[in-house]
Amino acid sequence: MFDRPLGTNQIYTVLTKSHTGAQGQQLDELLELKPDSRISHLTWLKQPPNAPNAKHILEHIDRLKLVKSFALDDELQRQVHQNRLLKIAREGEQMTVQHLRDLEPVRRYATLVAILIESQSTLIDEIVDMHDRIIGTLFNRGKHNHAEKFQSSGRSIKEKVRLYGRIGRALLEAKSNGTNPFEALEAIIPWEDFTKSIE
């Protein structure tokens, strides 16, 4: 927290004070085209999530790895108010790659750092959301399959209960009448079929 708000130029300084020349070059590379692609690394980084599946989660994880490769200081988010950071990031996202290239270095690097910081949070949220949606889809599919199997097995169980009810009554009658219980049973179901139903 600050005793007084930082001015925009001061924020640019805070966001870039710890970066080295190599990091500046790495930030500039965000504005270059990806290999075998017509879009820049920055544009690719900001691609929205597609349909929730394993392939798209892995693509988003690759984007998150790119952000992590800059090894940004976690303290930056505490040194700059979230609203100001978001404002700079949003302004940068509205600019073309050429416009970003034309900015003075301190502002360009600060803007790219702000975009990276915001992208990290967004990517994590989107990965978690896609994961939850995939699990939800799998759960609903499993629930549906279970319901279908339960209905199918329920019908089978009812048929078995009715069959065994008839067999039970036939055996009771055979005992009561003193007749052969096996003949009573086979009058309802052949012995082989009865054996299979038990198995």
Give the pLDDT means over successive 10-residue stretches in the chain (199 positions): 61 83 89 92 91 90 94 83 91 94 93 94 92 88 77 76 84 84 83 76
User: Cα dihedral sign for 173, 175, 179, 180?
Assistant: positive
Query: What is the model's pLDDT at position 93?
Result: 93
Residues 57 and 69: beta-carbon distance below 8 Å: no
Query: What is the model's pLDDT at position 3?
Result: 41
pTM (global) more than 0.75: no
The rounded distance, in Å, linking the Cα atoms of 115 and 76 is 12
Query: What is the model's pLDDT at position 40?
Result: 95
Query: What is the model's pLDDT at position 87?
Result: 93
The rounded distance, in Å, linking the Cα atoms of 102 and 106 is 11
Q: For residue 24, what are the contacts with CB-CB under 8 A and spacing of at least 6?
A: 105, 109
Query: What is the model's pLDDT at position 199?
Result: 65
Query: What is the model's pLDDT at position 139?
Result: 84
